């Protein structure tokens, strides 16, 4: 790790290593745009983990420039005090405090800001839609001034580097790209014209902060849309901005129409933008940092060693484990809680209004979920070695309880093991590895290959019994369900490479879609049968986009609004609109229609009188995130 942990300079900023936490929305912000103690603690924890620099999430430079009422703001002096607490917390932990400034442009619903959003041209956001108000020359000058005022506030708050958000389809990016800018005045047309707005912002900030204040520019070097930015065009843009005064560029990608490139799901390769960054670095005389699925120190080290970038930006990786840099520096690689790119962090922002993490339940709850030694050590018996059972076991043991864990299988991991079998979900194994390491580290007594009965519980005689026995696949009540070629999803994911077969997957939820892709990638001809109007219900948007495109690539047939009628000797009969039946030839049928709680043991031990807790799927089938969170909360409170 000698390259990753070598120092670096950006003007007067001395970075102790090459790891930067990129500006990633937490939305742990009041409706007014003000920061809170929770926000400060969030950033303090990230800085304490050992990155050289932490860039605070995008702060809006004007009230209509927010993307959400929970976005941080820097458009008024009243926000400086709260921002200064974040900068001070970052600096107190030995990291350079930086902040990103931003205007959403057309990429915000009118109902959020109470007016039509501004844009370079009369082109609505491709996903939000709705009318926009093209900026007139006076409005452009006003926005440039506001960027300058925001920069002054950032400096006054104690931040030591400023980043202009010129990526991801927001206002500055909208001016740069022909995809969103069809102006015919001096702010449109050729590269020089489309870069004018960004160049004027850089010039204004330099006027406000002086020549020596470190300034970064984040760009979507590729937008992957017609008329969108390409690496070659981005190089020319960045040459103009470097001459205007930027010191470093952060290479990202995508816009609102290609959001999967902004926050890449697990189906996309690690460090997927590193080659683009390398091309840009070769063409510029300023340093380059790169973001995009850099979630482990080995990948980061190779990027720096090979000269593809000068700095690596980690966002989700430091949400999953803020201590990753310190652990990597000390060689504690098996202690790292690795981001699995499930994008639950993004999903929680959109659905709950604040960030959460599947693998790290402490994220955003640093002040609430605190691991303290147990006042009275107790004997805790945990039944089930899936994600919920593992989490409650190691956390309880860490607090000083005596923990014994029973698992019916000969390996730990539960349904996470099944989920990790498709090659595109293999990073789930990192989560299993982390959980198992914690079990070993904190001295949990594991009894593998052990089926638990009421008698087992009586023999153990625990003070606390935790049931994390998971769920069992459910089977629809249709004729032919007992045919030998009908498999549950657990049987289909048995670890063996599946032989190519004509296959029907019944159920188009996340599990069904993933199994369909897994089978199709291994040569099967696959049809998905789903009763709902759409497949992938419950999947995070960016993950679904990539998954759906992969299903199309491998020719998977998707039948929505269709139910399974019966299973025959050579295939299935399904019924669609108006109950019109259709026969689909099949050599294999995989059922992925949901699960039922495995409550057999809870019923058997109910009368024994032990303090008993149920967590995860045996309480109600949901997902690994819920099981891990419930296991954490219980482990902290026993």
Quote the tokens at residue 625: 């995130």
Examine the pLDDT at 156 and tell me if it is beyond 90: yes
Q: Are 255 and 220 in contact (CB under 8 A)?
A: yes
pLDDT higher than threshold 90 for residue 634? yes
In angstroms, the CA 512 to CA 534 distance is: 12
pLDDT at residue 173 tops 80 = yes
Which residues are within 8 A (CB) of 577 and not within 5 positions of it... i.e. 6 or more apart? 561
- Write the pLDDT tens digit of every residue in 409-440: 999 999 898 889 998 899 899 999 999 999 99
Residue 61: what are its φ and ψ, rounded to 5°?
A: -90, -5
Q: Is pLDDT larger for residue 33 or for residue 495?
A: 33
What's the rounded mean pLDDT across residues 524-549? 93
For domain 8-352, give the CATH number: 3.20.20.70
Contact call for residues 443 and 452 (beta carbons, < 8 A): no
Q: Which fold has domain 486-593?
A: FAD/NAD(P)-binding domain (3.50.50)
Q: Per-residue pLDDT for 523 more than 80?
A: yes
Does 251 or 599 have the greater pLDDT score?
Answer: 251
pLDDT of residue 54: 98
Question: Does residue 31 register a pLDDT over 90?
Answer: no
Span 44-60, pLDDT tens digits: 999 999 999 999 999 99
Quickly state the pLDDT bin for 360 (edges 50, 70, 90).
Answer: very high
Residue 66: predicted pLDDT: 96
What is the Cα gyration radius of the chain?
A: 26
pLDDT cut 70: percent of the chain above it? 100
619 pLDDT higher than 90: no
3-state class (DSSP) for residue 558: strand
Q: Distance (Å, rounded) from C-alpha 227 to C-alpha 138? A: 27
What global pTM score does this model have?
0.93
Place of tokens 């070769």: 282
| Residues with catalytic roles | 170
The three-class DSSP label of residue 381 is strand
Does 494 score more than 90 pLDDT? no
Q: How far apart are CA 85 and CA 93, in angstroms?
A: 13
| Beta carbons within 10 angstroms of residue 524's beta carbon | 21
Is residue 350 scored above 90 in pLDDT? no
- Judge whether residue 452 has pLDDT over 90: yes
Angle at 59 between CA 224 and CA 219, to 5 degrees: 25
Q: Measured between alpha carbons, how far is 400 from 173 in angstroms, rounded to an integer?
A: 52
Q: What is the pLDDT of residue 146?
A: 98
Q: Check pLDDT > 90 for residue 623.
A: no
For 71, 146, 217, 382, 429, the CA distances from 62, given in Å and listed in that order, are 11, 7, 19, 52, 44
**CATH 3.30.70.20 given to domain 379-471+597-637:** no
Give the per-residue pLDDT at 572: 96
- pLDDT digits over 157-166, tens only? 999 999 999 9
pLDDT at position 161: 98
CA distances from 281 to 244, 304, 596 (A): 18, 12, 53
What pLDDT is stored for residue 198 in this prediction?
Answer: 98
Domain residue ranges in the chain? 8-352, 379-471+597-637, 486-593
Residue 92, pLDDT above cutoff 90: yes
The mean pLDDT value of the chain amounts to 95
Does the structure show a pLDDT above 90 at 349?
A: no
* Chain segment 105-153, per-residue pLDDT in tens: 999 999 999 999 999 999 999 999 999 999 999 999 999 999 999 999 9
pLDDT tens digits, 240-257 = 999 999 999 999 999 999
Closest CA to 312 of 292, 326, 332: 292
- Tally the C-alpha atoms within 13 A of residue 384's C-alpha that lie toward its C-beta: 31
**Range of lowest pLDDT (201-210, 382-391, 461-470, 599-608):** 599-608
Q: What percent of the chain has pLDDT over 90?
A: 89
CA 287 and chain centroid, separation:
27
Three-class secondary structure assignment of 102-153:
ECCCCCCCHHHHCCCCEECCCCCCCCCCCCCEECCHHHHHHHHHHHHHHHHH
**CA 154 to mean position of chain CA atoms:** 27
Q: Do domains 8-352 and 379-471+597-637 have the same CATH topology?
A: no
What is residue 528's predicted lDDT score, i.e. its pLDDT? 97
Mean pLDDT across the stretch 342-370? 91
pLDDT value, residue 579: 81
CA–CA distance, 270 with 495 (Å, rounded to integer): 24
DSSP 259-317: GGGTS--TTSPTTTTHHHHHHHHHH-SS-EEE-SS--SHHHHHHHHHTTS-SEEEESHH
Query: What per-residue confidence (pLDDT) applies to 547?
Result: 94
CA distance 114 to 594: 42
Q: Are 546 and 562 in contact (CB under 8 A)?
A: no
Query: What percentage of the chain's residues is helix, strand, coil (to nearest 5)?
Result: 40, 20, 45
* pLDDT surpasses 90 at 34: no
Q: In degrees, to the nearest 5, what angle opens at C-alpha 565 toward C-alphas 560 and 569?
A: 115
Rounded Cα–Cα distance for residues 250 and 244 (Å): 16
| Token representation of residue 45 | 């924890």
14 falls in which pLDDT band (50, 70, 90)? very high
252-266 burial string, b = 16+ CB within 10 Å, else e?
bbbbbbbbbbbbbbb
For residue 73, is pLDDT > 90? yes
User: Which pLDDT does position 353 carry in this prediction?
Assistant: 84
Q: What digits encode the pLDDT tens for the residues 559-598?
A: 999 999 999 999 999 998 778 899 999 999 999 998 999 8
């Amino acid at each position: 790790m000698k390259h990753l942990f070598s120092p670096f300079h950006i003007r007067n900023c001395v970075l102790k290593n090459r790891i930067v936490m990129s500006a990633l929305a937490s939305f742990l912000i009041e409706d007014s745009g003000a920061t809170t103690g929770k926000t400060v603690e969030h950033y303090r924890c990230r800085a304490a983990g050992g990155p050289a620099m932490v860039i605070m999430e995008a702060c809006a430079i004007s009230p209509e420039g927010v993307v959400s009422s929970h976005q941080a703001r820097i458009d008024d002096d009243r926000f400086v005090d709260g921002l200064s607490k974040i900068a001070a917390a970052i600096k107190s932990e030995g990291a350079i405090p930086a902040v990103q400034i931003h205007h959403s442009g057309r990429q915000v619903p009118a109902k959020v800001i109470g007016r039509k959003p501004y844009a370079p041209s009369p082109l609505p956001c491709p996903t939000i839609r709705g009318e926009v108000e093209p900026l007139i020359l006076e409005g452009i000058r006003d926005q440039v001034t506001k960027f300058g005022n925001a920069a002054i506030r950032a400096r006054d708050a104690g931040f030591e580097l400023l980043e202009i958000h010129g990526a991801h389809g927001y206002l500055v990016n909208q001016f740069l790209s022909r995809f969103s800018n069809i102006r015919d005045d001096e702010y449109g047309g050729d590269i020089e014209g489309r870069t004018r707005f960004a160049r004027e912002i850089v010039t204004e900030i330099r006027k406000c902060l002086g020549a020596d204040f470190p300034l970064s520019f984040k760009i979507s070097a590729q937008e992957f849309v017609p008329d969108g930015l390409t690496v070659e065009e981005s190089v020319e843009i960045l040459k103009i901005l470097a001459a205007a005064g930027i010191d470093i560029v952060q290479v990202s990608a995508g816009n609102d129409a290609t959001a999967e490139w902004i926050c890449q799901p697990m189906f996309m390769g690690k460090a997927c933008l590193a080659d683009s960054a390398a091309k840009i670095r070769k063409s510029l005389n300023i340093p380059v940092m790169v973001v995009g699925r850099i979630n482990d120190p080995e990948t980061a080290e190779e990027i720096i060693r090979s000269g593809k970038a000068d700095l690596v930006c980690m966002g989700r990786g430091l949400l999953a484990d803020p201590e990753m840099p310190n652990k990597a520096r000390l060689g504690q690689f098996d202690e790292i809680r690795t981001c699995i790119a499930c994008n639950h962090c993004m999903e929680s922002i959109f659905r709950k209004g604040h960030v959460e993490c599947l693998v790290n339940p402490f994220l955003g709850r640093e002040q609430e979920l605190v691991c303290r030694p147990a006042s009275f050590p107790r004997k805790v018996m945990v039944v089930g070695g899936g994600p919920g059972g593992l989490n409650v076991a190691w956390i309880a043991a860490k607090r000083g309880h005596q923990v014994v864990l029973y698992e019916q299988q000969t390996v730990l991991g539960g349904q996470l093991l099944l989920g990790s079998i498709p090659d595109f979900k293999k990073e789930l194994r990192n989560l299993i590895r982390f959980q198992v390491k914690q079990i070993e580290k904190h001295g949990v007594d594991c009894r593998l290959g052990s089926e638990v009965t009421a008698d087992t519980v009586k023999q153990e005689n625990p003070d606390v019994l935790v049931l994390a026995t998971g769920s069992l696949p459910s089977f629809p009540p249709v004729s032919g369900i007992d045919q030998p070629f009908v498999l549950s999803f657990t049987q289909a994911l048995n670890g063996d490479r599946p032989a190519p077969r004509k296959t029907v997957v019944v159920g188009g939820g996340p599990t069904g879609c993933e199994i369909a892709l897994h089978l199709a990638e291994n040569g099967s001809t696959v049809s998905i049968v789903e009763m709902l109007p759409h497949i992938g219900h419950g999947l995070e948007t960016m993950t679904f986009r990539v998954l759906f495109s992969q299903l199309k690539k491998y020719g998977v047939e998707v039948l929505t609004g269709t139910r399974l009628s019966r299973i025959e000797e050579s295939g299935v009969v399904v019924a669609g609109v108006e109950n019109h039946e259709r026969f689909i030839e099949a050599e294999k049928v995989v059922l992925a229609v949901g699960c039922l709680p495995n409550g057999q043991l809870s019923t058997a031990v109910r009368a024994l009188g032990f303090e008993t807790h149920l967590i995860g799927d045996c309480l109600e089938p949901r997902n690994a995130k819920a099981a891990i969170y419930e296991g954490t909360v219980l482990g902290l409170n026993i």
